[in-house]
Structure 1
Amino acid sequence: MSEHEAALAVGAAGGLGRYRSFAVPQSTVGDGFLMTMGLFFLGLCSFELLLGALLWPDGVLITGGLFMGLGMAGLALWPRFERRRGGRLERLYCFEDGLVIGSGHTMRPIRWSDVTITSEDWESGSGEYRYSGTRRTLTTSDGTLIARFTGKEPERVGGYQVILLHQAATEREAVHPSPGPTPSDARPTEA
């Protein structure tokens, strides 16, 4: 069973509603740049090797280019390696009424009503090199940190979607409170 299927099963068992999205906090920006540069250096070295017309002393360009190319490609693939099942980054499987946190090999369901989101705006630099964003921190009602979005992540990591789902669920909960215990009281399950 894949981690995604296990998260769907945990979410269904916890009564979290329909699955909506996937989010991975702390993902890196710049994957495309590093991959492009890695492919450029690998291509340049391959071209030099195939033609046999070395423009620089034997092996300097080839050795340096291969190491640079492989290193940059490795840096670009590192976040994908960390997001895998059992990786160090938490994976958030978001549902209409809550989320399932995949961390290591365990899964834990939490209702949106048990999650508090705090936002903090930040700025750095000046002039045309000024950057800004919103740092968002998700915690449980007892203060346990769930996830932290730095505000530097690209949209594809799903941070803003998490905020929208939380907001919609808390608005629904205010209108129609749900009776009974919450699934966040359950123990983490092995995936």
Structure 2
Amino acid sequence: MGRGERERARAIGLSGGYGRLVKVASPSYEPEAGCAFPFGVVFVAGGIAELYKKPHDWWPVIGALTIAMGLTAIVAVAIPRVQRRAGGSAPRLYCFTEGVVAAVGSQLTGYRWDELGIESVWWESGSNDLLDSGYRRTVTVIATGTVLVEFSGREPERAGAYQMHQLHKAALKHADEK
């Protein structure tokens, strides 16, 4: 979410009368696995060290596998971060008190909250200790029925789906009171 994109989104929000910017929401967040990156770095460093040891003929295989595991962990954490950046493939919603600016790729489009619908569906998967659940939130443009973005419900809280939904409800309530 580059400075240029954020400033362009604020300018669109200001010209549209969307109020103040509250949250940037995006479904492209890695699960709460922040430790994967440091472990990946340690595995890569360990794999390189193993390649230099060479006490046995098969030792380079262990070093190469260790490096591959480390790079996999690093890439798994890095991909969602790259997708969320300005111009990335993941949609970014600049949520204001009275509207939202949707950024998809490098295109920014502003909407008032009453132009959007948010469907929130509770889901559960698994059982007992392996129960996984959440709210799948789908944001659509009411006039066209086009899906703007979908949150699967597996994203961490910092993805902003809940805050976005609360802003939407508050804006609709405020509009009804007028």
TM value normalised by structure 1: 0.83
Instruction: Report Cα offsets for 1:105-164 as digits up to 9, x if no partner.
Output: 110000011111111111111121111111111112121111111111001111111011
> What is the match of residue 20 of structure 1?
22
Cα distance in 1 between the residues matched to 2:159 and 2:176: 28
> What is the match of residue 180 of structure 1?
none
> What is the match of residue 111 of structure 2?
110
Cα distance in 1 between the residues matched to 2:59 and 2:125: 45
Cα shift at 1:34: 3.1
Mark the CA change 1:55 to 1:45 in structure 2 (over 3 Å): closer, same or farther. Answer: farther
Aligned residues: 175
C-alpha RMSD of the superposition? 2.0
Cα distance in 1 between the residues matched to 2:111 and 2:100: 5
> What is the match of residue 161 of structure 2?
159
> What is the match of residue 3 of structure 1?
5
> Is 152-161 or 126-135 further displaced after alignment?
126-135
Mark the CA change 1:173 to 1:55 in structure 2 (over 3 Å): closer, same or farther. Answer: farther
Cα distance in 2 between the residues matched to 1:43 and 1:5: 39
Q: Which amino acid aligns with 2:96?
A: F
Cα distance in 2 between the residues matched to 1:76 and 1:32: 8
Cα distance in 1 between the residues matched to 2:146 and 2:99: 16
Point out 4+ residue stretches in structure 1 off by more than 4 angstroms: 53-56
The answer to whether residue 59 in structure 2 is matched with residue 58 in structure 1 is yes
Q: Which amino acid aligns with 2:29?
A: S
> What is the match of residue 124 of structure 1?
125
The answer to whether residue 144 in structure 2 is matched with residue 149 in structure 1 is no
Q: Which amino acid aligns with 2:149?
A: A
Unaligned 5+ runs, structure 2: none
Identical residues among aligned pairs (%): 37
Unaligned 5+ runs, structure 1: 177-191
Question: SS at 2:30's partner residue?
Answer: coil
> Is 32-41 or 94-103 further displaced after alignment?
32-41
Cα shift at 1:33: 4.5
